């Protein structure tokens, strides 16, 4: 690939013109400290990668209840808003476009994040996993508490408040994290949602929580500045339901009328596959959703180029390759080799620059 790559062509995303079709995928990097405050080194990290057409931040919690990962950032206090301005100001000065990803960990959390109170979920179903990293070390997963019907609406309001805070912090838009076994995904999937109220039962009812969040967020942002991420093929955090195809096509159908900017689909299988049938493809979503599609998870240069050239995807989000290749766009444009992937041990370490901002651009 070189300068004529389809990945390097501009993309109109709502009222934004993105300089290329390469996105930085949201990845949890755990550099915000115990107070969860975005900081200068995080601003440097995103600015290093601002040549991407779209930067999607690491998952950022909407409320204290949403916390469930050590030293991940939040967007629910004035100090957090001020901290994120370091990133948005720096990225914009470098010519970048950046969306904040809104997150609630749900049952993937632990009581030690919540002063001993259990994590919350649609239903009291424990995640079948080995352990969770907590402020008090590795701990076994616990059975979450099912949210009361009235409480669900309060969480929806938290998403709206977080979306407003993202605007105050200077972001260009927001992405609603509906993937990977966190709270929204567990509402969507029959495996984890056994509710009998209006948020459970049919595929449409299980989408109600997400739809209400979209409605709350789009009161703060134009719909064309809002994206949604889903993982129809994913097994991460003990997910995967027999009716996954019906469920996620229903998601696409119900989101279509809102005119959101994009649907970010983790269609690749590099993050685990539940194996409950044939993997869902972007083309299936294309039939139900007329706005932009972002493909993600396990793409290399050849598969990404093909997906965009064939029209299956409008954009491809790269995660792991962007960790060790801050200048990934330049490497694609110039046919330069990609650096070796960063070791997993460095991904989540709260040790500052090492494994985070210390990867050089190739010209250096």
Q: Give me the active site residues, please.
A: 182
251, 179 contact by CB (below 8 A)? no
Q: Residue 142: name the closest of 184, 108, 97, 165 by CA.
A: 108
In the DSSP assignment, the letter for residue 31 is: -
Q: Is 12 helix (H, G, I), strand (E, B) or coil?
A: strand
316, 296 contact by CB (below 8 A)? yes
Q: How far is it, in rounded angstroms, from Cα 92 to Cα 98?
A: 8
Angle between helices 40-48 and 78-93 (to 10 degrees): 30
297, 23 contact by CB (below 8 A)? no
> Which backbone phi and psi does 309 adopt, to 5 degrees?
-65, -35
* Ordered DSSP codes for 314-353: SEEEESHHHHH-TTHHHHHHTTPPPPPPPPHHHHS--STT
Q: How far is it, in rounded angstroms, from Cα 281 to Cα 359?
A: 33
Q: How far is it, in rounded angstroms, from Cα 63 to Cα 219?
A: 19
129, 109 contact by CB (below 8 A)? no
Q: How far is it, in rounded angstroms, from Cα 123 to Cα 268?
A: 28
Q: How far is it, in rounded angstroms, from Cα 144 to Cα 193?
A: 12
């Amino acid at each position: 690939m070189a300068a004529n790559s389809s990945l390097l062509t501009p993309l109109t995303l709502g009222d934004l013109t993105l300089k290329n079709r390469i996105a930085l995928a949201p990845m949890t990097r755990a550099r915000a400290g115990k107070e969860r405050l975005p900081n200068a080194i995080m601003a440097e990290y995103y600015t290093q990668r601002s040549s991407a057409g779209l930067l999607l931040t690491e998952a950022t919690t909407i409320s204290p209840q949403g916390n469930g990962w050590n030293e991940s950032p939040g967007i629910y206090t004035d100090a957090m808003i001020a901290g994120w301005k370091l990133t948005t100001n720096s990225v914009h000065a470098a010519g970048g476009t950046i969306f904040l990803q809104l997150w609630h960990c749900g049952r993937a959390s632990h009581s030690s994040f919540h002063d001993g109170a259990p994590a919350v979920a649609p239903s009291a179903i424990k995640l079948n996993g080995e352990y969770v990293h907590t402020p008090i070390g590795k701990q076994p997963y616990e059975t979450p508490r099912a949210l009361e019907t009235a409480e669900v609406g309060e969480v929806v309001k938290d998403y709206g408040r977080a979306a407003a805070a993202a605007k105050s912090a200077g972001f260009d838009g927001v992405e609603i994290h509906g993937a990977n076994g966190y709270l929204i995904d567990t509402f969507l999937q029959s495996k984890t949602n056994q509710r009998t109220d209006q948020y459970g039962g049919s595929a449409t009812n299980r989408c109600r929580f997400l739809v209400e969040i979209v409605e709350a967020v789009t009161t703060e942002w134009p719909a064309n500045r809002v994206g949604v991420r889903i993982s129809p093929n994913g097994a991460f955090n003990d997910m995967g339901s027999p009716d996954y195809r019906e469920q996620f096509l229903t998601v696409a159908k119900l989101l279509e009328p809102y005119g959101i900017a994009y649907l970010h689909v983790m269609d690749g299988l590099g993050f685990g596959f539940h194996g409950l049938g044939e993997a869902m493809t972007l083309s299936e979503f294309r039939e139900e959703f007329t706005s932009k599609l972002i493909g993600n998870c396990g793409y290399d240069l050849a598969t990404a180029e093909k997906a965009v050239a064939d029209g299956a995807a409008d954009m491809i989000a790269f995660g792991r390759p962007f960790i060790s290749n801050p200048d990934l766009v330049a490497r694609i444009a110039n046919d330069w080799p990609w650096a070796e992937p960063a070791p997993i041990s460095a991904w989540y370490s709260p040790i500052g620059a090492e494994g985070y901002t210390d990867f050089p651009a190739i010209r250096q």
